[in-house]
Amino acid sequence: MRCDHCGNEVPEGVFCTHCGAHEGTRDPRSLRRLGSYSAHPGEHVLQPGVLTTIFPHLGRRKVHEFRWVFAGGLAGIFVLFVAGFITAALCVAVLLLPLLYALYFYEAQVYRDEPFPVAAALGLVGIGIGIGVTIGTDRLVSSEARLSFTVAGGSLAIVRVVVPLIQEAVKPLPAVALRVRPAFRDQTLDGLVFGVAAGLGFGVGESFVRFAHILTDLPVRSTPGTWIYPLVTTAVLLPLLQGTATGLVCAAGWRVALGRADAIALAGAPVAVGGHVAFSTVTQVLGNHGWSQLVILAWQSAVVVVLLVSLRVVLHGALLDEAGEQSSADRYCAYCDRTVLVEGFCPSCGMALKAVPWRPAREA
């Protein structure tokens, strides 16, 4: 059949295997296909799905497995909290998403036969940068401001505005270093995944520096109190902030380097930096004025949702733009769980085949 949008002869199906558009209509909205996210077609592009955004290579079945692992980790943190093992709960909270991301590199065989070297390069270097930058930026403010729950005036501008700007400038460095390899240059998806991994690694280093005095001074077992709120931020919201912000910056950088800079891609870095500053500054201001921890969590969640959706929009557009460059061949669709004759998109579900893990066989 001939595609209604790109005019190419393609196999019959719901989606064009060349451009990814919905067939059967010439409506321009069918080409943008906001109702069918390229990396996970069962979701809307604007749906803030955490795992389908930061783990774009996972197929439909694998993403459910990772949801159970993530839920199990959160349940373990809650059990440790209830039992009063706050230091152990903090350690698990800091490491949960980064370790899950390392598992993702291995399980999805994201980067051919070298998932561990790539993950280690991003994670370990990111942790080192996080430790170094956090220790260095702490010297910009007084010890009273660092240890106080209330930060105002000039210290507020430094801690909650200048420091996030410095972080967003240095966090992408491990990802950018990997771009020297030709295999990692031609897909925006690479930049996104590398950026998320570098951001998560940075978050581990930053969190351990921030919690160093708590981990060493707090008894092994103590009264749970209100620790549940910082645990939620540490386990979910802060890693997602660091990962999605750096993923946006790197995805935008890859798009520009590929000569495909559009308005959405160019907006990625400002949105990432603005989101990070807003998350940090408003959290501190709300805390200074005694607002409820639930209100603070709601604000932090809102910022993370905006960053997740922004990341999905950038990736969706990049996959639609770049996936059609492949030649026609039999490829495995991780969403339909079958092999189809395609160029860049599955004709049945519309999944971009560049988001399928590198492996010659079907998923086990």
Task: Determine the angle formed by the axes of helices 163-170 and 115-138, rounding to 10 degrees.
Answer: 150
Please name every residue paired with 22 in a beta bridge, in sequence order, or none if there are none. 15
Classify 24 in phi/psi space as left (phi over 0), alpha (psi -120 to 50) or beta: left
CA torsion 242-245-251-256 (nearest 10°) is -130
What's the chain's Rg over C-alpha atoms?
Answer: 21
Per-residue model confidence (pLDDT) at position 116: 67
Q: Evaluate if residue 183 carries a pLDDT over 80.
A: no
* Contact between residue 333 and residue 344 where contact means Cβ atoms under 8 Å apart: no
Q: Evaluate if residue 266 carries a pLDDT over 70.
A: yes
Per-residue model confidence (pLDDT) at position 190: 87
Per-residue model confidence (pLDDT) at position 363: 42
Q: Cα separation of 152 and 185, whole Å?
A: 43
* Contact between residue 3 and residue 25 where contact means Cβ atoms under 8 Å apart: no
Per-residue model confidence (pLDDT) at position 107: 78
pLDDT band at 152 (very low <50, low <70, confident <90, very high): low
What is the DSSP code string of 49-97? -HHHHH-TT--HHHHHHHHHHHHHHHHHHHHHHHHT-HHHHHHHHHHHH
Mean pLDDT of 190-199: 92
Share of the chain above pLDDT 90, in %: 45
Classify 290 in phi/psi space as left (phi over 0), alpha (psi -120 to 50) or beta: left
Lowest mean pLDDT among 10-19, 148-157, 253-262: 148-157
Q: Evaluate if residue 147 carries a pLDDT over 80.
A: no
Per-residue model confidence (pLDDT) at position 83: 93
Mean pLDDT of 54-80: 92
pLDDT band at 68 (very low <50, low <70, confident <90, very high): very high
pTM over the 0.75 mark: yes
Could you tell me which residues come within 8 angstroms of residue 4 by beta carbon, excluding any fewer than 6 positions away? Answer: 16, 21, 23, 24, 25, 26, 30
DSSP code, position 2? B
pLDDT band at 87 (very low <50, low <70, confident <90, very high): very high
Domain definitions of the chain by residue range? 50-324
pLDDT band at 324 (very low <50, low <70, confident <90, very high): low
pLDDT band at 275 (very low <50, low <70, confident <90, very high): very high
Lowest mean pLDDT among 137-141, 149-153, 295-299: 149-153
Mean pLDDT of 228-241: 94
Mean pLDDT of 128-144: 85
Per-residue model confidence (pLDDT) at position 111: 65
Per-residue model confidence (pLDDT) at position 231: 93
What is the DSSP code string of 97-108? HHHHHHHHHHHT
**Which tokens is 32 given?**
């943008």
Lowest mean pLDDT among 90-94, 220-224, 236-240: 220-224
Per-residue model confidence (pLDDT) at position 240: 96
At residue 217's C-alpha, the angle toward residues 213 and 220, to 5°, is: 125
Kindly report the average pLDDT of the chain as a whole number. 85
Per-residue model confidence (pLDDT) at position 167: 94
Per-residue model confidence (pLDDT) at position 220: 81
Mean pLDDT of 358-362: 45
Q: Evaluate if residue 364 carries a pLDDT over 60.
A: no
Three-state secondary structure call for residue 129 = helix
Please name every residue paired with 330 in a beta bridge, in sequence order, or none if there are none. 341
Mean pLDDT of 242-270: 89
Q: Cα separation of 227 and 213, whole Å?
A: 15
Q: Cα separation of 266 and 255, whole Å?
A: 9
Share of the chain above pLDDT 70, in %: 88
Question: Which range scores top for mean pLDDT: 175-184, 192-201, 257-266?
Answer: 192-201
Among 360, 359, 311, 321, CA closest to 111: 359
